[in-house]
Amino acid sequence: MADQADVENALVAIVANALYPAGSAVASSVNGPSGPVVWRVYRGWPTSAVLDADLARGIAHATVVPDATTIRNTTRFPRVWQVVAPVAASLSVSVGEGTAIFSGSCAAGQLAGIAVDGAIFPYAVQPADSPPTVASNLAALLRAAGWIVNYRGSSLSVPAAKLFTARVVSGAGALKEIKRQEQQFQISLWCADPLTRDVAAGFVDCALAEPQFVALADGSVAHLVFAGGATRDQGANQSLYRRDFIYAAEYPTTLAEIEPAMLFGVGDISANGTFVAGLAG
């Protein structure tokens, strides 16, 4: 089912793709006074000490935070099963020597994922993605969970993983919507100078406004609507220049009759490191 965290992850990916259109292994698209700006893009509110230290070094932050006070019940559709039609497979991944390499083209309805020591990290592919941004966003999910990731271009690996594999699948099966909610999310840019903030805001503003519907990991979509924003300058005292974007996301809670996109079944790792899938799952 879709969860608040799935919407947050989708928004983080949109922002990260806007700031790093070729993936975070290369320089960002935002040039500040001293050249390309390094960004940290993540869910949650920044820690003051970390933010202050990063801003002093010219590292900017982009955050996604939900507003728990603005959740509105919008349930209105009948509880019927809806078939999720599979999309044509255009993105692929190969795994060899502990490294996953993504290739092909991206389209909504595909799901990419990494399995590390029994933990699964799924990523709902967006139309604006590319193999490098898919790898970059998966690397961010793994790092947020505490894993050290080697990421470059369209490939990534987790050196400490004992079991590691990757898959890309297309949506299939059926979903039943059992409730629906609308919730506001605040996307904030925290910058050390006004030039960086203004340039980044232009990229992020367009990236958030362009897609009306954002794919979620369960095969459903969230409807995004711009709900406001603000510019907050505290540069005189803290060298902090901030821009906020507020978006309302309407998304469903669903039941799956068949997993809409089963990334990993039950299986074992063979002697040569290949993942052997079973029939269950």
Domains and CATH numbers, the chain: 4-77+177-256 (3.30.2000.30), 81-174+259-268 (no CATH)
Strand pairing category for 59-73 and 38-43: parallel
34: left (phi over 0), alpha (psi -120 to 50) or beta: alpha
CB 242 within 8 A of CB 232: yes
CB within 8 A of 124, min separation 6: which ones? 6, 10, 108, 111, 215, 216, 217
Q: Is the pLDDT of residue 46 over 90?
A: yes
What's the whole-number mean pLDDT along residues 70-87? 86
CB within 8 A of 236, min separation 6: which ones? none
Q: How confident is the model at residue 277 (pLDDT cuts 50, 70, 90)?
A: very low
What's the whole-number mean pLDDT along residues 37-51? 94
Torsion of CA 76, 82, 88, 94, to 10 degrees: 90
CB 48 within 8 A of CB 57: no
CB 104 within 8 A of CB 91: yes
58: left (phi over 0), alpha (psi -120 to 50) or beta: left
| Rounded CA separation 147/138 (Å) | 11
pLDDT at 251: 95
pLDDT at 227: 94
| Rounded CA separation 189/70 (Å) | 21
CB within 8 A of 4, min separation 6: which ones? 66, 183
Q: How confident is the model at residue 17 (pLDDT cuts 50, 70, 90)?
A: very high
pLDDT at 258: 54
pLDDT at 108: 81
CB 1 within 8 A of CB 245: no
Among positive and negative, which fits the CA dihedral 26, 32, 38, 41? negative
pLDDT at 281: 32
pLDDT at 34: 86
Provide the token pair at 248.
């309302």
Q: Please give the residue that has the higher pLDDT: either 11 or 169.
A: 11
What's the whole-number mean pLDDT along residues 203-228? 91
pLDDT tens digit sequence for 166-198: 999 886 678 889 999 999 999 999 999 999 999
Three-state DSSP state, 12: helix
